[in-house]
Amino acid sequence: MLARIRLTLLTLTGAVAFLAVPRAAAQEPTRYRLLEGTVLTFHDSGGGISVTPLAGTFDLWPDPLANQHKVLRFRGFSPDSVELVRGGGTYQNDALTGYQRMQLDVSIWDQLIHMDSGLVLISTLLPMIEIEVIESPSGGDSWYQMHIIAAPATPVLFTSEVPFSPGRSEVISDGDMLSTLGYVIRTNAQLTADLGIEPPAPDVGLDALYRAIKDTPPGWEAWFSSEVPVFSETLGWLSDGDLLSESGWIVARAAELLANFVPMPPADYGLDAITWGWPCQGWYFSTEWDFFSQSLGQMVGHGDVLCARDGFIFMRNVDLLARFHPVGPLPPDLGLDGLYMWQSGHIWFSLEEGFTDAVYGAISDGDLLSTDGWVIMRNADLTRRFAPPTAAVGLDGVDLMPIDRGDMNGDGSINGFDIDPFVLALTDPDGKYYALFPEIDPNVVGDVNYDGSFNGFDIDRFVEMLTGG
């Protein structure tokens, strides 16, 4: 079997498999996704301006020797999927001085153009990027500029607010854990299988979601809250405010999360969103309902971000939206369904209610947003690979799902389904593989022998991973 797999890979890839791709720096690169708001602007000689929204990706590759990053494989596509921009360059980001600079050498409509931002103030902290690059030197009376908003393209782990049918026979539950790559990572039945719920176990839904790292395979497990209380024969009553583990234990009771707030009256106020954060060095979370905190002497909103360890309001709901541009007055609290905190302190989140923004237009309760005032992903983008109905299906729990080396299709497992993507990544990385998996950088995920290059020398190690070696 092992020999047959190796022979198949070598035969399919041929000599191309042994051609080295650009060698990686010591630190792995990050693939970035161009967010909504990234635009290419052309100023023509007659004073006219044309603006084209861009989608696409680029790879940011640290270069420690030059104290900067390499920008590799920059690809920008128009709304009708025409590749308008392609190239690379360098990026510097100095948090100490507060300045950043990006220089790109790109092809735009087959015209080679150098673009430079110059030294400009950093408007956000890594890993997020926002910067404006301008054609330099100017092309005379006509010239290009590009406004870039980008975030890591790591696939998002999420749950929907309502069940939906992806056009196939099955129905995806609002208690299933999904990936933006189009996979059901865990069904609700799988999540609750070890919780001792008397069979047949009901679908208890899924509200809060956290991807907990562990030392044993597969390297993580899901922690979550249910949407309804349920009785466990091994754990007793489980409330919708408890944080549960798919391994069959209670991570934290609702009373533990709320203890330092001293809620009045004492009650279970539900658990809507949760993440682990560094400033608080503990849990950040939101509840399903407002409550009065005796320790704070004030009401706590169901859309506020709370710090469990110290019992304080880390961020009010209105503060999450401070960098957006609402049209008209907002309700005092739009709720908080999904919550993810980056180590830098950036927060990605979703709301229970939508609103209209002067820049982004209609924002739904299923869109993934950032405290930078950006739309990270529209609800339709989150569910695009499932091909659901056109109506938004909401967004409840949210986390990220980094891709392990060798997992060439990003489904969370390394198995025979990765063979064809592995071959595609070797033979046509910028064509068919990119069309299927634009979020995945094959130069990292495919480099399973860790020699800094993705090529034919990775085949043997890949085969060993497939066969348990």
Assess whether 308 and 349 both reside in one domain: yes
Q: What is the dihedral of CA 279, 282, 284, 289, to 10 degrees?
A: -140
Assess whether 218 and 82 both reside in one domain: no
| pLDDT for residue 139 is more than 80 | no
Domain membership of residue 317 (yes or no) is yes
Give the per-residue pLDDT at 108.
Answer: 96
- Is the link from the previous residue into 331 a cis peptide, with omega within 30 of 0? no
Give the length of the chain. Answer: 469
b/e map 397-410, b = 16+ CB within 10 Å? bbbebebebbbbbb
Do residues 309 and 276 make contact, with C-beta atoms less than 8 angstroms apart?
no
Assess whether 141 and 179 both reside in one domain: no
Assess whether 339 and 435 both reside in one domain: no
Assess whether 383 and 422 both reside in one domain: no
Domain membership of residue 139 (yes or no) is yes
- Is the link from the previous residue into 137 a cis peptide, with omega within 30 of 0? yes
Characterize the bridge pairing of strands 250-252 and 230-232. unpaired
Assess whether 258 and 364 both reside in one domain: yes
Do residues 57 and 65 make contact, with C-beta atoms less than 8 angstroms apart?
no
Domain membership of residue 408 (yes or no) is no
Give the per-residue pLDDT at 469.
Answer: 66
Report the alpha-carbon distance of residue 94 to residue 84 in Å, rounded: 30
Give the per-residue pLDDT at 168.
Answer: 64
Q: Which of 134, 152, 170 is the last residue of a domain?
A: 152
Residue 271: domain span: 156-400
- Lowest mean pLDDT segment, chosen from 4-13, 166-175, 220-229: 4-13
Domain membership of residue 244 (yes or no) is yes
Give the per-residue pLDDT at 344.
Answer: 87
Q: Output 339 or 469, whichever has higher pLDDT.
A: 339
Rg of the Cα atoms in the chain: 24
- Is the link from the previous residue into 279 a cis peptide, with omega within 30 of 0? no
Give the per-residue pLDDT at 383.
Answer: 93
Assess whether 201 and 332 both reside in one domain: yes
| pLDDT for residue 122 is more than 80 | yes
Q: Output 448 or 387, whichever has higher pLDDT.
A: 448
Query: Structure tokens of 108?
Result: 């735009």
Give the per-residue pLDDT at 391.
Answer: 75
Question: What letter would DSSP give residue 66?
Answer: G
Domain membership of residue 30 (yes or no) is no
Report the alpha-carbon distance of residue 218 to residue 220 in Å, rounded: 6
Give the per-residue pLDDT at 65.
Answer: 74
Any residues with CB less than 8 A from the CB of 230 and at least 6 apart, and which? 197, 202, 204, 237, 238
Do residues 227 and 204 make contact, with C-beta atoms less than 8 angstroms apart?
yes
Reported confidence tier of residue 389, pLDDT bands at 50, 70, 90: low
* CATH of residue 143: 2.40.128
Rounded to two decimals, what is the model's pTM? 0.92
Report the alpha-carbon distance of residue 272 to residue 339 in Å, rounded: 9
| pLDDT for residue 188 is more than 70 | yes
Domains held by the chain: number: 3
Helix, strand or coil, per DSSP, at residue 59: strand
Report the alpha-carbon distance of residue 454 to residue 443 in Å, rounded: 5
Helix, strand and coil content of the chain, in percent to the nearest 5, comes to 15, 35, 50
- Lowest mean pLDDT segment, chosen from 13-22, 66-75, 237-246, 435-444: 13-22
Q: What is the largest CA-CA distance in the chain?
A: 76
Query: Structure tokens of 307?
Result: 């710090």
Assess whether 139 and 165 both reside in one domain: no
Q: Output 16 or 147, whichever has higher pLDDT.
A: 147
Query: Structure tokens of 105?
Result: 């050498």
| pLDDT for residue 316 is more than 70 | yes
Give the per-residue pLDDT at 22.
Answer: 31
| pLDDT for residue 94 is more than 70 | yes
Across 290-296, average pLDDT: 98
Domain membership of residue 310 (yes or no) is yes
Characterize the bridge pairing of strands 183-186 and 263-264. unpaired
- Is the link from the previous residue into 332 a cis peptide, with omega within 30 of 0? no
Assess whether 42 and 92 both reside in one domain: yes
Q: Over the chain, what is the mean pLDDT?
A: 91
Q: Which of 105, 126, 152 is the last residue of a domain?
A: 152
Reported confidence tier of residue 314, pLDDT bands at 50, 70, 90: very high
Report the alpha-carbon distance of residue 82 to residue 29 in Å, rounded: 26
Assess whether 90 and 183 both reside in one domain: no
Do residues 325 and 367 make contact, with C-beta atoms less than 8 angstroms apart?
no
Helix, strand or coil, per DSSP, at residue 204: coil
Report the alpha-carbon distance of residue 366 to residue 377 in Å, rounded: 9
Q: Which residue has the tokens 């990544």?
A: 425
Across 385-407, average pLDDT: 88
Assess whether 121 and 222 both reside in one domain: no
Any residues with CB less than 8 A from the CB of 236 and at least 6 apart, and which? none
Domain membership of residue 405 (yes or no) is no
pLDDT in tens, 1-49: 444 444 344 444 433 332 333 322 334 689 999 999 999 999 998 889 9
Reported confidence tier of residue 390, pLDDT bands at 50, 70, 90: low
Q: Which of 152, 180, 201 is the last residue of a domain?
A: 152
Assess whether 142 and 161 both reside in one domain: no
Domain membership of residue 311 (yes or no) is yes
